[in-house]
């Protein structure tokens, strides 16, 4: 069986970026394989549509127009193009263009609508096992995304993050009179808290570890670009967390003597404490590999991109952050793809 030159696993924003850039580099479409169970814009398109973005519209448009293979200039008019470029938006407005781009990229490369289960390096090729079949590829890009991190406090019913971030799904939960614990101080936290306070809960207790961080827009860079609060989440946090707590909201430092008692008062819990990489597919020889966070290399011919394998880079003052966001995935790929093209098995 002739191997593919490149296989991209995952069709979220990172996988879309990878397929686009491989085509932009002149890779023949028939030499590219692309695997995903849904091809529906990844988690952004399937779970986070109602979430308010932390990126301005201008940067999203910059991303969408950044790959000739995306052919976004040919897309039908979409609401994203009508909005003030300095605004943030619901992620649905970026999910729709991603789905449009996916549809026509799919028509060019080889599609496997399934889940990759394992990888094995043999005879200078990667053997890729999926739930349906197996095939070989000279190089593989893992763009498999991440899942919300969870802490393990016993005795509390957990409300999944994808429910907490979606007002309609949250309204369907039995929340009347409940006391809800929310762990974290992230962008997701500052979206979850106001959503909860619009429900008939008795109380919300936000358990935190450290002061909030806010992004600051400077002339040509953003302080705390990846870890700081932005957009509506930042506005809400300034007024309600670092300002005056709204009725029914309490906060509790996890290292304080009150922590255990406060947690015991809660019925349900929501963890908004970040993300961790998805586990599948694993390599058969080495299990789960560590990636190099400055160039994405996992092994010869095996590379990681997207929220599961973000670039780690310092800002102009030397503060290091993991870089997560659509345009960042594209810019990073532009710096590492020349290496990847020369680092086959
Ligand atoms: C609250 C929140 C706010 C956000 N705000 C912004 C923002 O303002 N700006 C911005 O740029 N981004 C934002 N994001 C999106 C962010 O950039 C995400 O990190 C992005 O969706 C990650 O893309 P990805 O392609 O790495 O992963 P995903 O979107 O998770 O896609 C991974 C894909 O891989 C598939 N997959 C996984 N395992 C396998 C396998 N074994 N075989 C085949 N397929 C597999 C999955 O099914 C999925 O389709 C936000 C995300 C969240 C949660």
Domain spans of the chain? 4-147+275-341, 150-271
Distance CA 60, CA 87 (A): 11
Candidates 19, 35, 39, 42: which one to mutate for ligand 1, based on the most atoms within 8 Å of Cβ? 42
Centre of ligand 1 from the C-alpha of residue 179, in Å: 31
From CA 157, how far away is CA 194, in angstroms rounded?
20
Neighbour-count burial of 188, counting CB atoms closer than 10 A to its CB (0-12 exposed, 13-18 middle, 19+ buried): buried
For 278-329, the pLDDT digits (tens) are 988 989 899 889 999 999 999 999 999 999 999 999 999 999 999 999 999 9
Distance from the alpha carbon of residue 145 to the mean position of ligand 1, in angstroms: 5
Cβ(115) – ligand 1 distance below 6 Å: yes
CB of 161 within 6 A of ligand 1: the answer is no
**What pTM, to 2 d.p., does this model score?**
0.95
Average pLDDT in the chain: 96
pLDDT of 2 higher than 90: no
**pLDDT at position 284:** 87
Q: Is the CB of 266 under 6 A from ligand 1?
A: no
3-class secondary structure for 4-65?
Answer: EEEEEECCCHHHHHHHHHHHHCCCCHHHEEEECCCCCCHHHHHCCCCCECCCCHHHHHHHHC
Cα separations in angstroms, 40 against 99, 101, 181: 6, 10, 32
Specify which residues 33 forms β-bridges with: 7, 110
Same fold, 4-147+275-341 and 150-271: yes
17 CA: nearest ligand 1 atom: 25
Using the atom order of ligand 1, give the atom closest to the CA of residue 307.
Answer: 26
Count of other CB atoms within 10 angstroms of residue 103: 10
DSSP of 144-185, one letter per residue?
A: --EEE-----TT-EEPPHHHHT-HHHHHTS--TT-EEEEE--
CATH classification code of 150-271: 3.50.50.60
Superfamily of domain 4-147+275-341: FAD/NAD(P)-binding domain (3.50.50.60)
Ligand 1 atom nearest to 280, measured from its CA: 41
């Amino acid at each position: 069986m002739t191997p593919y030159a490149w296989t991209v696993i995952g069709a979220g924003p990172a996988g879309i970026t990878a397929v686009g850039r491989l085509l932009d580099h002149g890779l023949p479409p028939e030499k590219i394989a692309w695997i995903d169970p849904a091809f529906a814009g990844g988690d952004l398109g399937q779970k986070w549509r109602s979430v308010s973005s932390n990126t301005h519209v201008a940067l999203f448009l910059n991303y969408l127009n950044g790959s000739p293979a995306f052919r976004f200039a040919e897309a039908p008019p979409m609401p994203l193009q009508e909005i003030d470029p300095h605004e943030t938006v619901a992620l649905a407005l970026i999910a729709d263009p991603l789905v449009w781009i996916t549809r026509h990229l799919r028509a060019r490369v080889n599609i496997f609508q399934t889940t990759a289960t394992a990888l094995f390096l043999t005879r200078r090729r990667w053997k890729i096992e999926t739930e349906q079949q197996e095939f070989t590829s000279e190089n593989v890009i893992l763009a498999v995304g991440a899942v919300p991190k969870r802490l393990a406090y016993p005795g509390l019913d957990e409300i999944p993050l994808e429910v907490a971030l979606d007002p309609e799904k949250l309204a369907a939960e039995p929340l009347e009179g409940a006391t809800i614990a929310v762990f974290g101080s992230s962008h997701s936290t500052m979206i979850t808290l106001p959503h909860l306070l619009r429900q008939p809960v008795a109380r919300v207790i936000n358990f935190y570890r450290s002061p909030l961080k806010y992004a600051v827009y400077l002339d040509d860079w953003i302080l705390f670009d990846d870890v700081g609060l932005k957009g509506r989440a930042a506005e809400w946090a300034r007024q309600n967390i670092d300002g005056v707590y709204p009725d029914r909201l309490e906060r509790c430092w996890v290292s304080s003597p009150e922590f255990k008692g406060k947690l015991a008062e809660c019925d349900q819990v929501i963890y908004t404490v970040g993300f961790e990489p998805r586990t599948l597919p694993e390599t058969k020889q080495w299990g789960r590999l560590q990636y190099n966070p400055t160039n994405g290399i996992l092994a010869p011919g095996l590379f990681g991109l997207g929220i599961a394998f973000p670039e780690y880079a310092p800002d102009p003052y030397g503060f290091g952050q993991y870089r997560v966001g659509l345009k960042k995935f594209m810019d990073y790929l532009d710096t590492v793809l020349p290496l990847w093209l020369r680092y086959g098995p």
